[in-house]
Every structure is written in structure tokens, then in C-alpha cells.
């Protein structure tokens, strides 16, 4: 199974690595502890051997005599686990603790130095046996001096130590895991920032990750920035080409209209009708493409621009008042002078232009353009006293479809341009019935959509 979370993967590997290291440490330390215990026991046995050796004598029959046995009480208690024994060929003398048992005979004990081995001894016990050959004089028989300590007590001590050590290492493992967790969190935090910045980049293609990252992350952020830059350049070029193409088609279309009229004059009315239909379709496509290019450009500059809706609305009203539809209308502009919306002024001009022209087309007497700022949103509305929206358009809006596909021609296109631009700048648009009687188009931007 492949673990997808980098966080979990690092934590798990840290946990396992620390566990293995602590387990090895536990084995090594208990083994060292056991060796240390054995050395201590051997040293104790040698110390006990000293009085034995100092007062060693031989009986006339050649048996060894312990005139000054070790004083440790355990030598006197049967099966205590602590034993001594002196042996010659003639016989042996041993501690009371051995009772009726003997320590195993030795074949390789040397004179002059202690040797040590672990064997099965009296009472079936595993014992640590220390032994040495001693000659009381040059001619005398060798005396085998043996002292033993049962191993079980050593093992018990080792096990107790191992148990305590395990508890301690367990706590240490938990602490190290917590430290690893903190380290992983801290180490991966820059990636979280990269993720947030990528989300911002997705929202606003003009945003960049920047160079303010740890050295290890910088190549990544730089590569992403380069990619975003290249992608934006390509997109921009493509859009500009599309917009240029759309613009450049308009004059030939006007020329084509001229040809259509010439054809009509020459009596080819059917051909002229066909041409006119084709021209209308291409014109609508061009307008939609230009609106898309404009929305894309607005999305690119989102968050960096603000505009005064009062100024823009007044300038547009100045134009619309001169059109045939606008000349008979009263335009009420009710916008606080200091109010700003997070939209570039050219985009706001297209946005309000489309809506005010639309309102002027359907208004009876009045068009009202108002704006106000709430606690966390800024609202801009365009309303008229006309007949309101067609049901088909309203349904298209509810369905979330494109307004220009709602089959109401120019009416829909203006609203569609406005919606594309509003959404591209982080706002949203709603349609409602105006108190004046016609359509009320409201645009809202939250404070977070940009500096207001």
C-alpha cells in the first residue's frame, strides 16, 4: 500500500527508525549490563576467595583445610546460590551451602590465574564458576580453589533492568516521535504556503509565489512562477490574437454588408438575406469572443485595481443620453463620490456600459444607477422602469446558463457581458424586480475581492 500523505510517510518512517534504534539500544544496554554484573560478581567471588587462599592448609591425609572460610552468610545457607570448594586428589572441603553436592571437576584450571566459565552446577543450577589451582609448596599437591555464583539472580537483575529500561525507552520513543511530528510540521509548513499561494494563483493568474521561500523550496516556487509566467504570456498572446482577429473582422464584415446591399440592389434578395444572416452570426460570435477576452483580462488584473463607479456611470450616461433610446430617459445616478469597486476602470466602463445601455433600451422613462457599501460588501445596481425580464431569460439565469443563450438577443448579451466581468473580478450578479417596475441588476463584491 502506498501512503499518499507526505506528512504520514515522514512521521511513520521517523517512528520506525527511532523504534529500531531504541530496540537495538535496549538489547545492547541489557547485554552490557549483564556483562557488567558478571564482572562485579566475579570480583566479589575473588574478594571472597582471598581469606580462603590466605589460610589454606593441607590435612595430614592430604585433604585441603579451610581454616578461615569466607564470612558471607550465604555460604552457610544450603542452596543459597553462593558456593566455594577446595579439592585435592585426596578429598575436598566445601561450603555448607553446597550441602551434599559438589562443584564440577575442572580439567583446565591453571595455577597462578583465575579462570571463569558458566556451567550447570549443583542442584541443577546454572552457575558462574571461578577456579584456580594453588600449590602450597613446590612438592605439595595442587589444590583446586573454586567459587561459584548461580546465574539466575544475575538474569533476574538483568531482566529487571531490561524492564525498567524498556519503560524508559518507550517514553523516550514517544517524546522523539512528538519531536519528529513537530519537525515534520515545521518542515512541511512552506509546502502549505506554496499550496495557498497556488490557490491564489488559480484565483488570480497575475499572482506569483515570489522568492520569499526557504532555500530548498525556492527552486520549486521559481519553477512554478516561471511556468505561470509562460502560461500567462501564452494565454495573453492567444487572447490578444483572438481579440485582434475579432476586431480585424469587423471592417471586412461592414464591407460584406456593403456587398449584401449591392446584391440586394441587383435583385439577388435571397443571396443578400443569406449574407445578412451569416454576418449577424459572425458579429454575435465576435462580440462574445471580445467579451470573453475582456473578462479574461479583468481576471488577470483582479485585486490590483479599483475604480469610482460615480465617475464611470456619469461618463456612460453622457454617451447613452445621446442615443435614440437614451434621449427620452431620465438617468438618476445615486452613487457616493468616495465609493470604489474592485474593478479596473475600463472593465467597469464595459460592465456599466452594457447594463446602462440595456436598461435604456427597455426603460419607459427612468434608469437608476445606485451604489452603496455594507459592512462587508459593496453593491452596485442598475434598474429601469421597463417591462422586466423575459421568463426564458430568468430561467436561463436560474439554470446558471449563459444569458446570451437564452434566446433574447442583445438583451441577454449585455447581461452576459456584465456577469462575465463581475464574476471575473470576484463579484456576483443577481437579477430582481426593481421598485421602478423593470429589471434590477445588482452586482456585489465582498471586501476580500480586492482593496475597496
Partner 1 sequence: MRVLVVEDDPDVATDIADALRDAGFIVDAARDGEDAWFRGDVEDYDIVILDLGLPRLDGLSVLRRWRAAGREMPVLILSARGDWTEKVEGIETGADDYLAKPFKMGELIARVRGLVRRAAGHASPVLRVGRLALDTRRLSAALDDVPLRLSPLEFRLLDYLAHQAGRSVSAGELAEHLYGVSETGDTNAIEALVARLRRKLGPDVIETRRGFGYHLAGGEP
Residues at the interface with partner 1 (CB under 8 A): 247-248, 250-251, 253-259, 261-262, 279, 283, 287, 290, 294, 315-319, 321-324, 326-333, 346, 349-350, 352-354, 365-366, 368, 385
Nearer to partner 1, 148 or 243 (CB): 243
The CB-of-350 to partner 1 minimum distance in angstroms stands at 5
Q: With respect to partner 1, which residue has the nearer C-beta, 144 or 360?
A: 360
Task: Report the nearest approach of partner 1 to the CB of residue 394 (Å).
Answer: 24
* Cβ atoms of residues 93 and 62 within 8 Å: no
User: Is residue 210 left, alpha or beta, with left meaning phi > 0 and alpha meaning psi from -120 to 50?
Assistant: left
Q: Which long-range contacts (CB under 8 A, 24 or more apart) does 39-48 make?
A: 41/128, 41/149, 41/154, 42/114, 42/116, 42/128, 42/130, 44/149, 45/128, 45/130, 45/147, 45/148, 45/149, 46/114, 46/130, 46/147, 48/72, 48/75, 48/84, 48/147
CB atoms within 10 A of CB 286: 19
* CA dist., res. 39 & res. 302, Å (int): 79
Least distance from partner 1 to the Cβ atom of residue 392, Å: 25
Q: What CA–CA distance (Å, rounded) separates 131 from 370? A: 110
To partner 1, the closest distance from the beta carbon of 261 in angstroms equals 6
Give the shortest CB-369-to-partner 1 separation in angstroms.
11
Minimum distance, C-beta of residue 354 to partner 1, in the bound complex (Å):
8
Q: Which is nearer to partner 1, 16 or 254 (CB)?
A: 254
Of residues 207 and 440, the one with the C-beta less far from partner 1? 440
In this complex, which beta carbon is closest to partner 1, that of residue 46 or of residue 279? 279
- Nearer to partner 1 by C-beta: 234 or 332? 332
3-state SS record for 91-137: EEEECHHHCCCCCCCCCCCCECCCEEEEEECHHHCEEEEEEEEEECC
Amino acid at each position: 500500500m502506498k501512503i499518499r500523505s507526505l506528512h504520514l510517510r515522514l512521521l511513520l518512517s521517523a517512528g520506525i527508525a527511532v523504534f529500531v534504534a531504541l530496540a537495538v539500544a535496549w538489547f545492547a544496554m541489557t547485554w552490557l549490563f549483564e556483562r557488567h554484573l558478571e564482572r562485579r560478581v566475579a570480583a566479589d567471588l575473588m574478594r571472597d576467595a582471598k581469606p580462603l587462599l590466605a589460610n589454606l592448609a593441607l590435612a595430614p591425609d592430604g585433604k585441603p583445610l579451610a581454616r578461615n572460610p569466607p564470612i558471607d552468610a550465604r555460604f552457610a545457607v544450603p542452596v543459597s546460590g553462593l558456593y566455594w570448594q577446595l579439592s585435592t586428589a585426596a578429598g575436598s572441603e566445601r561450603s555448607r551451602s553446597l550441602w551434599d553436592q559438589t562443584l564440577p571437576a575442572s580439567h583446565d584450571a591453571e595455577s597462578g590465574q583465575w579462570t571463569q566459565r558458566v556451567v550447570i552446577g549443583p542442584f541443577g543450577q546454572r552457575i558462574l564458576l571461578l577456579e584456580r589451582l594453588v600449590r602450597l609448596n613446590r612438592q605439595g599437591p595442587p589444590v583446586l580453589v573454586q567459587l561459584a555464583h548461580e546465574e539466575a539472580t544475575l538474569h533476574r537483575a538483568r531482566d529487571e533492568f531490561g524492564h525498567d529500561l524498556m519503560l524508559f525507552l518507550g517514553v523516550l520513543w514517544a517524546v522523539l516521535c512528538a519531536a519528529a511530528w513537530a519537525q515534520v510540521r515545521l518542515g512541511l509548513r512552506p509546502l502549505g504556503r506554496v499550496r495557498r499561494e497556488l490557490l491564489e494563483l488559480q484565483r488570480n493568474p497575475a499572482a506569483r509565489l515570489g522568492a520569499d521561500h526557504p532555500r530548498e523550496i525556492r527552486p520549486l516556487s521559481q519553477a512554478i512562477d516561471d511556468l505561470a509566467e509562460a502560461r500567462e504570456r501564452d494565454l495573453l498572446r492567444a487572447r490578444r490574437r483572438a481579440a485582434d482577429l475579432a476586431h480585424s473582422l469587423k471592417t471586412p464584415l461592414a464591407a460584406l454588408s456593403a456587398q449584401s446591399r449591392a446584391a440586394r440592389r441587383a435583385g439577388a434578395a435571397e443571396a443578400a438575406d443569406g449574407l445578412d444572416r451569416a454576418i449577424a452570426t459572425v458579429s454575435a460570435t465576435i462580440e462574445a469572443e471580445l467579451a470573453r477576452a475582456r473578462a479574461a483580462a479583468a481576471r488577470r488584473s483582479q485585486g490590483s485595481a479599483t475604480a469610482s463607479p460615480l465617475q464611470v456611470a456619469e461618463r456612460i450616461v453622457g454617451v447613452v443620453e445621446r442615443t435614440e433610446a437614451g434621449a427620452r430617459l431620465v438617468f438618476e445616478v445615486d452613487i457616493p463620490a468616495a465609493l470604489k469597486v474592485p474593478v479596473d476602470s475600463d472593465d467597469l466602463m464595459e460592465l456599466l456600459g452594457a447594463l446602462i445601455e440595456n436598461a435604456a433600451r427597455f426603460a419607459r422613462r427612468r434608469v437608476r444607477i445606485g451604489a452603496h457599501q455594507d459592512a462587508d460588501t459593496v453593491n452596485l445596481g442598475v434598474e429601469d422602469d421597463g417591462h422586466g425580464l423575459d421568463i426564458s431569460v430568468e430561467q436561463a439565469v436560474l439554470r446558471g446558463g449563459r444569458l446570451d443563450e437564452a434566446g433574447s438577443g442583445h438583451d441577454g448579451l449585455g447581461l452576459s457581458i456584465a456577469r462575465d466581468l463581475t464574476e471575473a473580478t470576484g463579484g456576483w450578479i443577481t437579477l430582481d424586480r426593481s421598485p421602478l417596475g423593470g429589471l434590477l441588476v445588482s452586482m456585489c463584491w465582498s471586501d476580500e475581492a480586492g482593496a475597496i
